[in-house]
């Protein structure tokens, strides 16, 4: 059956202006597990548009650092926590998609998923405060040091169960810079995927999305991908909204579903040790007042350019 | 029968009936208008009102002393004082006559309006009439001849042509001339009556007597005088009844609304901001719709007399930013009147007014809401107790809830939320400034101390301020003070977070700090940061943390007075800038001045000092927002340096607030007065006075660069 | 299992530099080095892959002219199945990110990305990569006994020089129907400036704090005779066009002088400028990573320094 003429595409570009609206029906299922949409209608009570976003609470270190005794981690006292910048952008992108659907009177849902300990629920709270409807935490050791394959494997059953139209991940996390979890997860779920996306236009009539991949050197690759799909989102695609602490506190009252991870297979690497990076020979430091520094800079520039 | 006069002399029976008929209509309109006002206020959010007796007595004090009205403009203050007492006396006189005519005589058959009472009455009312006219003349002189800028209706928050306030001007003059005409016709009535009906006690109405003499000299006597009296009586009566009817709908409404607002005002307005219910829906946070305003705030809109003292005092307006506290109130008032008040009931909608109750965006522009430094200059000077600062703060809360704010501010909130400080520094770096000290500062979490130093962000992380923190630490050590800090456990106190409208973040900061402080053993807390000092002292009690909190200027004074510091006079000539949060918010004006006196420096006051101090422009979270700088404008901080340097040769511009250190260090450079004056923080001068070596740390000024 | 397979990266018919760098990286590992070219007509690119240190070029005839991740994934999986290499090297690039992790997930390979050093130790491949936002380095060991997929950080290894002609072989794979299809390229909006050819770049980063300050540095650059370039946050914020961006997702530059104001030096940024002739960095944070690659550094407020520079030029 086809009700293609009922479909209206959605266009979400970098500025986030929604040019079109979701249609009343679903994308044709591509992957078998998307039984939810198998017959082209959505069962009673399930949202018509659903996005799952995988998020991570990242750590940041200042200029002081101390390592744990085994040399495999950083002393927790030296770490500050935040939601990964890329993931916040992905959540914002998902919210914009579903809000457009809601504005058209459709049910929509954004579900956020993380892997980590209870202390990492903070990241989920922030996403709930931004407007995500549900949050799921896959129980597990948190931190920057989990290998990406293990993370992807833990996420996979939960994300599969949610059967989303679009799965979004940040391109990478600011602390471990793997840029791998999203692509691995797509593979485990057998979802079409595109990495490093800076613009998304969903066209549900075609069951595709047209996305812009940002290549090195500023060239943009325009790619058409079948839906449902997993996209890893690059910063700059939108300006994420603010989650007030009040909203975060209210989100504290929301239930977060906790899922036990499946049995772990060995990861894709083992950390042998971590260490403070060797300093390069370092810069020659220019001392003195700003005026003196500026004078030296001028001197250096002139010497090099002449 | 003694001295008196007939009340409706020369009026026919029908005319008296007509008069009573008109009086009923007039009173009816007045009552309807007042009822509409009450209904309008009732549309606002409920807010309990207690301590009624204290409120009433405070109102009587403020109204009858004219303490507030007289400030910063004694001429207008005197004018209003005269007309207020004149008008009040005349009103009482008319009421007495009414009681005599319509109650005492018809019901009790009593006549008290005669004899000596009548003569005293006549004399008193003549004097009152003179006071009224003198006051009005002074007000007219002020408006027409002196013309202070604040009485003009030019809006700093709008471009010329974007608005029309000409009706306000008309309203002002109509109001003034109506009262004037009432006074003049009153006296004319006396004169005509005496001219037509000679009385031996005429001199008890001196003005009437003089007029009578004059009329008689012109040959106006007998029936012609009686006719003039008759006509004037009607003019006076119609004018008076019209005036009464118009009170709820014109500028005259302030006669009711202003005293009422003074009575119901929040004495801690702006100083202790309200909390938000934990379960509030996003759309209910702060103010967006007119009916989000509390009933008190709706009432306060009608209290405004458009005197413009708020806008005159506003640092944002002075710097050319799009904010005028007066016009914000007037915009709200027009909107409230149009959608909730009498205008709404009558279906009068001026062009361009939105139909809905939503005022955030239009006419209350977000740029105006964000321009405010929450410095309290407007609230402090308002003669009728309007609470601009908390109203603006409520609008901010709604904007924050929607995420409609400066990206820099949003980033700052996020940074504070994740690191506990606005500099985005790891918490371990908070005590780093103490590394330059020759001694270790006690850790309050581990050992008891007499004093707990809540250092605050700027004093902890900003290089220029770290120097001052070390100076104070050294002074305290020399004085043998027993003090400790919270080290990593301290977080931003949140004063400016709250004033920028992020109440949720504020409450979590307050709770975290209260928990940290509560785990320590100490007697009193102090801070060098007036913002921190203020919120700890006045707002933390609302979150469960009550302690004795001092500003370091108070602590220094205490140590000096106890003789614990050996001071040598420095002999400098300085001026001192009152920080908003220390001065207007907490009325600590003398402690820093007495410290300066003790260290032997000559203090030259700037014209705007103490309660009239001009905000540096950093407050209310403005320091975390993109600077708006309209073409050709001068920053408030630069205007302040202009003001200081106009006092003649000064050695130092003395401040007692870390944000002032940052703002005025910059302003000295950018105002074109570099080299003319230098900045010193109070502690630095005290350190110099006790002869300790000054900190050798470099004077790094400027902002922290966030990592890529 | 033996040897190293490098998956060549090419764009619009040209082999990308990162492939040359991978060849250099492969030289540190035992066994022969094979470069695989996946394209509709791989022979058109083959000659460019004949580099010093390359033992064989495999032409995998698959897909279209340009990159599509399903095609590359199928090709790499077929290569691993057929050749059982010890190590597969892929660039840590936007292209690589689209398929290399997927292959690792599919075949349960050892995997590490953003690798800047690798060696064989005790029978395992040990890779060096950064953690905690580059504040910390770490060594990770990939499991022995199966192929390791390693994504190597660009610009770390020197590009391999052209070499003699090497043996070529062909390989075919089952046809792939890509689920994500390349449609076209869009040039980033052309700008009148080309930061890659400038001799003197004045580069600004997040430290400038505010959009309104951009104008000031545009003027300062003009005054100093420099071309203005920026770091990623400035482009993300929309304050300057992407054409001005230095770094991995922007342009790689090599001016005679690179003056960085308020740039702390994210790895991706450093990758785009670290080979500049003279790097001068001004930052308030003495620990900023930019000082590691800078030749001259100053811990100072960039606005103070800018004030003085304005005065001096």
> CA separation (Å) from B89 to B103, B133, B202, B428?
20, 13, 20, 69
- How many Å apart are CA B695 and CA B467, to the nearest integer? 7
Distance from CA of C176 to the nearest CA of A (A): 13
Q: What is the DSSP letter of B674?
A: B
Partner-chain contact B703 C212, CB within 8 Å: no
> CA separation (Å) from C71 to A152, C176, C186?
22, 6, 21
Does C187 reside within a domain? no
Q: Are residues C146 and C208 in the same domain?
A: no
Task: Look at residue C165 and give its three-state secondary structure.
Answer: coil
Does C184 reside within a domain? no
Partner-chain contact B403 A242, CB within 8 Å: yes
Residues 6+ apart with CB under 8 A from C143: A266, A268, A269, A270, C110, C124
Average pLDDT over residues B232-255: 96
Q: What is the DSSP letter of C184?
A: E
Torsion of CA A32, A37, A40, A43, to 10 degrees: 140
Q: Are residues C158 and C218 in the same domain?
A: no
Nearest to A149 among C105, C126, C256 (CB): C105
Residues 6+ apart with CB under 8 A from A103: A18, A21
Residue with tokens 């330059």: B436
Taking only the tens place, the pLDDT of each residue in A169-179 is 999 998 888 99
Q: For residue C290, what is the domain's CATH number?
A: 3.40.50.1220
Q: What is the DSSP letter of C242?
A: G
The pLDDT, as a whole number, for residue A280 is 59
**Looking at beta carbons, which residues of chain A come within 8 Å of C184?**
222
Distance from CA of B431 to the nearest CA of A (A): 13
* Contact status, residue B556 vs residue B683, Cβ threshold 8 Å: yes
**pLDDT tier at C237 (50, 70, 90 boundaries)?**
confident
Torsion of CA C195, C196, C201, C202, to 10 degrees: 40
Domain total for chain C?
A: 2
A135 burial via Cβ count (<10 Å: 0-12, 13-18, 19+): buried
The pLDDT, as a whole number, for residue A13 is 31
Q: Are residues C103 and C12 in the same domain?
A: yes
Nearest to B708 among C206, C212, C304 (CB): C206
Taking only the tens place, the pLDDT of each residue in B143-157 is 999 999 999 899 999
What stretches of B218-348 show up as alpha helix (H) in DSSP?
222-246, 254-264, 295-303, 309-313, 315-318, 325-339, 342-346
**What is the chain A residue with the closest CA to C200?**
A305
- How many Å apart are CA C61 and CA C42, to the nearest integer? 6
Check whether A55 has a pLDDT greater than 80: yes
Distance from CA of A246 to the nearest CA of B (A): 4
Lowest mean pLDDT among A142-146, B18-22, B46-50, B52-56: A142-146
Residues 6+ apart with CB under 8 A from C215: none
The percent of chain C in helix, strand and coil, each rounded to the nearest 5, is 30, 30, 40
SS (H, E, C) B315-361: HHHHCCCCCCHHHHHHHHHHHHHHHCCHHHHHCCCCCCCCCCCECEC
Does C137 reside within a domain? yes
**Looking at beta carbons, which residues of chain B come within 8 Å of A85?**
none
C36: tokens are 């695989």
Identify the bridge partners of residue B339 per DSSP, sorted by sequence position: none
Check whether C113 has a pLDDT greater than 70: yes
Does C179 reside within a domain? no
- How many Å apart are CA B613 and CA B610, to the nearest integer? 5
The pLDDT, as a whole number, for residue A151 is 93
**Looking at beta carbons, which residues of chain C come within 8 Å of B407?**
237
**pLDDT tier at B698 (50, 70, 90 boundaries)?**
very low
The pLDDT, as a whole number, for residue C192 is 65
Check whether B402 has a pLDDT greater than 70: yes
Identify the bridge partners of residue C57 per DSSP, sorted by sequence position: C35, C168
**pLDDT tier at A69 (50, 70, 90 boundaries)?**
confident
Percent of chain B residues topping a pLDDT of 70:
97
Percent of chain A residues topping a pLDDT of 70:
81
Nearest to C264 among B629, B702, B708 (CB): B708
Phi/psi of residue B32, nearest 5 degrees: -60, -45
Nearest Cα to Cα of residue A214 among A191, A237, A230: A237
The pLDDT, as a whole number, for residue C206 is 85
Asked if B437 reaches chain A (Cβ–Cβ under 8 Å), the answer is no
Q: What is the DSSP letter of B520?
A: S
Residues 6+ apart with CB under 8 A from B261: B296, B299, B300, B302, B303, B384, B385, B386
Q: Are residues C85 and C23 in the same domain?
A: yes
Taking only the tens place, the pLDDT of each residue in B568-593 is 999 999 999 999 999 999 999 999 99
Taking only the tens place, the pLDDT of each residue in C147-179 is 999 999 988 898 999 988 889 999 999 999 999
Asked if B417 reaches chain A (Cβ–Cβ under 8 Å), the answer is yes
Arithmetic mean of pLDDT over chain A: 81
**What is the chain C residue with the closest CA to B628?**
C212
Average pLDDT over residues C73-91: 96
- How many Å apart are CA B271 and CA B264, to the nearest integer? 16
Q: Are residues C265 and C165 in the same domain?
A: no
- How many Å apart are CA B190 and CA B186, to the nearest integer? 7
The pLDDT, as a whole number, for residue B693 is 65
Does C182 reside within a domain? no
Average pLDDT over residues C57-61: 96
The pLDDT, as a whole number, for residue B701 is 31
Check whether A232 has a pLDDT greater than 50: yes
Task: Look at residue B645 and give its three-state secondary structure.
Answer: helix
**Looking at beta carbons, which residues of chain A come within 8 Å of B463?**
none
Task: Supply the DSSP string of B559-627, one letter for each residue.
Answer: HHHTT-S-------EEEEPPPTTTTTTT---HHHHHHHHHTT-EE---SS-GGGPPP-S-TTTGGGSPP
Q: Kindly indicate whether the ipTM for this predicted assembly is greater than 0.90, answering yes or no.
A: no
Partner-chain contact B703 C209, CB within 8 Å: yes
What is the domain range of residue A87?
4-305
Asked if C284 reaches chain B (Cβ–Cβ under 8 Å), the answer is yes
Partner-chain contact B627 C265, CB within 8 Å: no
What stretches of B486-586 show up as alpha helix (H) in DSSP?
495-499, 503-518, 530-534, 552-561
Check whether B486 has a pLDDT greater than 90: yes
Average pLDDT over residues B400-412: 91
Nearest to A235 among C113, C151, C236 (CB): C236
Nearest to C210 among B626, B701, B704 (CB): B626
Distance from CA of C249 to the nearest CA of B (A): 14
C94: tokens are 């936007």
Q: Which comes out higher in pLDDT, residue C274 or B18?
A: B18
Lowest mean pLDDT among B73-77, B105-109, B287-291, C263-267: C263-267
Taking only the tens place, the pLDDT of each residue in B84-132 is 999 999 999 999 999 999 999 889 988 888 889 999 999 999 999 999 9
Q: Which comes out higher in pLDDT, residue B278 or B173?
A: B173
Adjacency order of strands within the sheet including C200-204: A284-285, C296-299, C278-283, C257-261, C200-204, C227-230
**Looking at beta carbons, which residues of chain A come within 8 Å of C134?**
177, 277
Task: Look at residue C296 and give its three-state secondary structure.
Answer: strand
Q: Is A254 left (phi over 0), alpha (psi -120 to 50) or beta?
A: beta
Q: Are residues C209 and C158 in the same domain?
A: no
Chains in contact with chain B (at least 3 beta-carbon pairs closer than 8 A): A, C
B622: tokens are 């403005």
Q: For residue A41, what is the domain's CATH number?
A: 3.40.50.620
**Looking at beta carbons, which residues of chain A come within 8 Å of B428?**
62, 64, 77-78
**pLDDT tier at C311 (50, 70, 90 boundaries)?**
confident
H-run or E-run covering C228: strand C227-230
Q: Are residues C21 and C139 in the same domain?
A: yes
Annotate C54-67 with b (16+ C-beta within 10 A) or e (fewer). Answer: bebbbbbbbbeebb
Check whether A132 has a pLDDT greater than 60: yes
Check whether A40 has a pLDDT greater than 80: no
What is the domain range of residue C227?
195-312
* Contact status, residue C259 vs residue C201, Cβ threshold 8 Å: yes
The pLDDT, as a whole number, for residue C211 is 80
Partner-chain contact B505 A239, CB within 8 Å: no
Taking only the tens place, the pLDDT of each residue in B622-634 is 999 887 778 788 9
Phi/psi of residue B275, nearest 5 degrees: -95, 170
Lowest mean pLDDT among A12-21, B184-193, B296-305: A12-21
Instruction: Return the ∠ at Cα A235 (arms to A232 and A241), rounded to 5°.
Output: 105
- Domains in chain B, CATH or no CATH each: 10-36+119-155+166-249 (no CATH), 264-404 (1.10.1060), 409-689 (no CATH)
Does C185 reside within a domain? no
The pLDDT, as a whole number, for residue A22 is 32
B531: tokens are 């913002």
Q: Are residues C295 and C210 in the same domain?
A: yes
Does C142 reside within a domain? yes
H-run or E-run covering C87: strand C87-91
Task: Look at residue B70 and give its three-state secondary structure.
Answer: coil
Task: Supply the DSSP string of chain A, one letter for each residue.
Answer: ---GGG---EEE-TT--B-S---SSPPPP-STT-GGGTTSSPPTTS-SEEEEEE--EEEEE-S---B-TTSSSB-GGGEEEEE-HHHHHHHHHHHHHHHHHHHTT--EEEEEEEEE-GGGHHHHHHHHHHT-SEEEEEES--STTS-HHHHHHHHHHHHHHHT-SEEEEES--TTT----HHHHHHHHHT--EEEEEEEEEEETTTTEEEEEEE-GGG-EEEEEEESSEEEEE-TTS--PPP--HHHHHHHHTS--EEEPPPPPPP-S-EEEEEEPPPP-S-PEEPPS-HHHHHHHHHHHHHHHH-
Q: For residue C8, what is the domain's CATH number?
A: 3.40.50.620
Asked if A250 reaches chain B (Cβ–Cβ under 8 Å), the answer is yes
In total, the C-beta contacts within 8 angstroms joining chain A to chain C are 294
**pLDDT tier at A5 (50, 70, 90 boundaries)?**
very low
Does C180 reside within a domain? no
Check whether C258 has a pLDDT greater than 70: yes
| Beta-strand runs (E) in C165-214 | 167-172, 180-186, 200-204
Phi/psi of residue B685, nearest 5 degrees: -70, -40
Distance from CA of B242 to the nearest CA of A (A): 52
- How many Å apart are CA A180 and CA A148, to the nearest integer? 6
Percent of chain A residues topping a pLDDT of 90:
46
> CA separation (Å) from A109 to A94, A99, B183?
9, 9, 72
Q: Are residues C250 and C150 in the same domain?
A: no
In total, the C-beta contacts within 8 angstroms joining chain B to chain C are 51
Taking only the tens place, the pLDDT of each residue in A10-37 is 333 333 333 233 322 223 233 333 444 4
Nearest to A62 among B418, B429, B508 (CB): B429
Compute the Cα dihedral for B581, B584, B586, B591 and give only its sign.
positive
Residues 6+ apart with CB under 8 A from B266: B296, B387, B390
Check whether B705 has a pLDDT greater than 80: no
Domain total for chain A?
A: 1
The pLDDT, as a whole number, for residue A6 is 33
- How many Å apart are CA B265 and CA A88, to the nearest integer? 43
Partner-chain contact C186 A276, CB within 8 Å: no
Q: Are residues C156 and C57 in the same domain?
A: yes
The pLDDT, as a whole number, for residue B354 is 65
* Contact status, residue C113 vs residue A251, Cβ threshold 8 Å: no
Arithmetic mean of pLDDT over chain B: 93
């Amino acid at each position: 059956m086809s009700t293609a003429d009922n479909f209206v595409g959605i266009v979400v570009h970098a500025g986030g202006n929604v040019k079109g609206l979701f249609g009343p029906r679903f994308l044709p299922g591509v992957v078998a597990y998307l039984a939810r949409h198998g017959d082209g209608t959505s069962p009673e009570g399930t949202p018509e548009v659903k996005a799952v976003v995988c998020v991570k609470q990242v750590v940041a270190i200042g200029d002081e650092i101390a390592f744990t005794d085994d040399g495999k981690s950083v002393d927790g006292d030296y770490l500050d926590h935040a939601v990964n910048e890329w993931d916040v952008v992905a959540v914002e992108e998902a919210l914009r998609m579903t809000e457009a659907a809601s504005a058209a009177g459709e049910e929509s849902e954004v579900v956020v998923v993380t892997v980590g300990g209870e202390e990492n629920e903070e990241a989920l709270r922030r996403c709930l405060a931004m407007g995500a409807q549900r949050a799921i935490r896959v129980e597990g050791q948190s931190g920057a040091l989990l290998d990406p394959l293990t993370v992807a494997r833990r996420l996979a059953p939960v994300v599969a169960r949610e059967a989303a139209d679009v799965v979004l991940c940040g391109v990478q996390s600011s602390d471990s810079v793997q840029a791998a979890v999203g692509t691995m997860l797509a593979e485990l779920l057998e979802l079409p995927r595109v990495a490093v996306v800076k613009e998304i236009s969903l066209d549900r009539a075609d069951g595709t999305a047209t996305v812009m991949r940002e290549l090195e050197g500023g060239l943009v690759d325009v790619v058409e991908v079948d839906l449902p799909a997993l996209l890893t989102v690059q910063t700059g695609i939108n300006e994420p909204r603010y989650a007030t602490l009040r909203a975060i506190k209210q989100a504290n009252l929301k239930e977060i579903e906790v899922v036990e991870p499946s049995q772990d297979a060995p990861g894709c690497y083992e950390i042998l040790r971590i260490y403070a990076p060797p300093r390069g020979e370092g810069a020659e430091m220019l001392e003195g007042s700003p005026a003196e520094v500026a004078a030296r800079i001028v001197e250096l520039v002139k010497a090099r350019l002449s | 029968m003694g001295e008196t006069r007939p009340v409706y002399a020369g009026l026919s029976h029908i005319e008296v009936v007509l008069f009573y008929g008109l009086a009923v209509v007039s009173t009816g309109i007045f009552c309807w208008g007042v009822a509409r006002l009450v209904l309008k206020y009732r549309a606002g959010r409920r807010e309990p009102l207690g301590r009624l007796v204290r409120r009433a007595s405070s109102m009587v004090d403020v109204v009858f002393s004219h303490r507030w009205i007289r400030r910063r403009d004694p001429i207008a203050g005197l004018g209003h004082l005269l007309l207020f007492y004149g008008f009040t006396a005349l009103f009482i006189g008319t009421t007495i006559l009414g009681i005599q005519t319509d109650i005492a005589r018809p019901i009790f058959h009593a006549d008290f309006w005669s004899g000596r009472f009548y003569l005293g009455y006549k004399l008193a009312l003549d004097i009152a009439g003179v006071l009224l006219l003198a006051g009005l003349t002074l007000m007219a002189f002020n408006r027409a001849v002196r013309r202070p800028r604040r009485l003009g209706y030019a809006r700093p928050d709008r471009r010329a042509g974007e608005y029309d306030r000409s009706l306000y001007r008309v309203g002002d003059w109509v109001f003034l001339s109506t009262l004037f005409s009432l006074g003049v016709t009153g006296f004319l009535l006396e004169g005509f009556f005496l001219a037509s009906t000679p009385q031996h006690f005429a001199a008890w109405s001196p003005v009437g007597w003089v007029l009578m003499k004059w009329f008689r000299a012109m040959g106006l006597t007998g029936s012609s005088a009686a006719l003039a009296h008759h006509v004037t009586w009607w003019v006076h009566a119609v004018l008076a009844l019209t005036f009464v009817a118009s009170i709820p709908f014109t500028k005259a409404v302030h006669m009711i609304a202003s005293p009422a607002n003074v009575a119901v005002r929040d004495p801690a307005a702006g100083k202790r901001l309200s909390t938000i219910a934990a379960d509030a829906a996003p759309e209910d946070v702060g103010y967006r719709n007119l009916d989000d305003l509390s009933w008190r705030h709706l009432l306060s809109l009608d209290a405004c007399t458009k005197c413009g003292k708020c806008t005159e005092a506003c640092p944002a307006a002075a710097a050319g930013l799009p904010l005028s506290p007066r016009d914000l109130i007037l915009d709200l008032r027009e909107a409230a009147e149009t959608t909730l008040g009498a205008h709404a009931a009558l279906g009068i909608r001026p062009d361009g007014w939105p139909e809905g109750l939503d005022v955030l965006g239009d006419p209350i522009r977000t740029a105006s809401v964000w321009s405010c430094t929450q410095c309290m200059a407007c609230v402090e000077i308002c003669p009728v107790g309007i609470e601009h600062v908390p109203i603006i703060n409520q609008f901010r809360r709604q904007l924050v809830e929607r995420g409609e704010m400066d990206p820099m501010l949003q980033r700052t909130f996020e940074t504070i939320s994740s690191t506990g400080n606005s500099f985005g520094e790891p918490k371990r770096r908070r005590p780093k400034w103490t590394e330059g000290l020759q001694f270790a500062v006690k850790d309050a979490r581990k050992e008891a101390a007499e004093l707990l130093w809540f250092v605050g962000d700027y004093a902890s992380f900003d290089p220029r301020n770290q120097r001052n923190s070390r100076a104070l630490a050294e002074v305290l050590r020399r004085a043998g003070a027993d003090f400790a800090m919270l080290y990593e456990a301290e977080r931003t106190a949140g004063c400016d977070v709250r004033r920028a409208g992020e109440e949720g973040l504020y409450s979590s900061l307050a709770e975290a700090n209260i928990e940290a402080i509560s785990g320590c053993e100490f007697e009193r807390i102090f801070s060098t940061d007036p913002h921190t000092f203020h919120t700890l002292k006045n707002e933390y009690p609302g979150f469960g943390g009550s302690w004795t909190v001092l500003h370091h200027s108070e602590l220094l004074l205490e140590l000096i007075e106890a003789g614990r510091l050996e001071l040598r006079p420095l002999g400098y000539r300085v001026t001192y800038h009152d920080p908003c949060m220390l001065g207007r918010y907490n009325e600590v004006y003398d402690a820093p001045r007495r410290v300066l006196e003790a260290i032997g420096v000559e203090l030259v006051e700037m014209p705007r000092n103490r309660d009239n101090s001009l905000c540096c422009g950093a407050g209310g979270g403005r320091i975390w927002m993109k600077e708006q700088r309209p073409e050709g404008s001068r920053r408030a901080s630069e205007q302040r340096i202009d003001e200081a340097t106009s006092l003649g040769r000064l050695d130092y511009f003395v401040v007692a607030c870390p944000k002032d250190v940052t703002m005025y260090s910059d302003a000295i450079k950018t105002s074109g007065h570099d080299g003319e004056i230098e900045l010193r923080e109070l502690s630095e001068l005290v350190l110099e006075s006790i002869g300790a070596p000054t900190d050798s740390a470099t004077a790094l000024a400027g902002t922290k660069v966030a990592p890529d | 299992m033996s040897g190293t397979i490098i998956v060549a990266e090419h764009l619009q018919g040209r082999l990308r530099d990162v492939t040359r760098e991978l060849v250099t990286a492969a030289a540190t590992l035992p066994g022969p080095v094979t470069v695989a070219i996946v394209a509709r007509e791989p022979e058109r690119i083959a000659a460019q892959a004949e580099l010093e240190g390359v033992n064989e070029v495999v032409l995998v005839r698959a897909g279209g002219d340009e990159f599509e991740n399903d095609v590359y994934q199928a090709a790499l999986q077929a290569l691993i199945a057929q050749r059982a290499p010890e190590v597969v090297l892929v660039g840590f690039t936007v292209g690589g990110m689209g398929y290399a992790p997927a292959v690792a997930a599919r075949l349960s390979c050892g995997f590490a990305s953003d690798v800047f050093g690798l060696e064989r130790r005790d029978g395992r491949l040990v890779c060096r990569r950064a953690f905690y936002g580059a504040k910390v380095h770490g060594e990770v060991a990939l499991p022995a006994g199966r192929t390791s997929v390693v994504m190597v950080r660009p610009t770390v290894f020197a590009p391999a020089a052209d070499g003699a002609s090497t043996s070529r072989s062909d390989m075919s794979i089952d046809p792939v129907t890509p689920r994500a299809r390349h449609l076209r390229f869009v040039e980033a909006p052309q700008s009148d400036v080309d930061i890659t050819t400038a001799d003197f770049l004045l580069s600004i980063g997040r430290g400038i704090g505010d959009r309104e300050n951009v104008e000031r540095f545009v003027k300062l650059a003009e005054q100093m005779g420099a071309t203005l370039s920026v770091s990623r946050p400035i482009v993300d914020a929309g304050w300057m066009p992407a054409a001005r961006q230095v770094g991995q997702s922007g342009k790689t530059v090599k001016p005679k002088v690179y003056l960085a104001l308020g740039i702390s030096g994210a790895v991706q940024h450093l990758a785009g400028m670290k080979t500049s002739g003279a790097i001068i960095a001004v930052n308030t944070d003495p620990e900023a990573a930019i000082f590691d690659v800078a030749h001259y550094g100053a811990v100072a407020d960039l606005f103070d320094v800018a004030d003085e520079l304005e005065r001096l030029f």
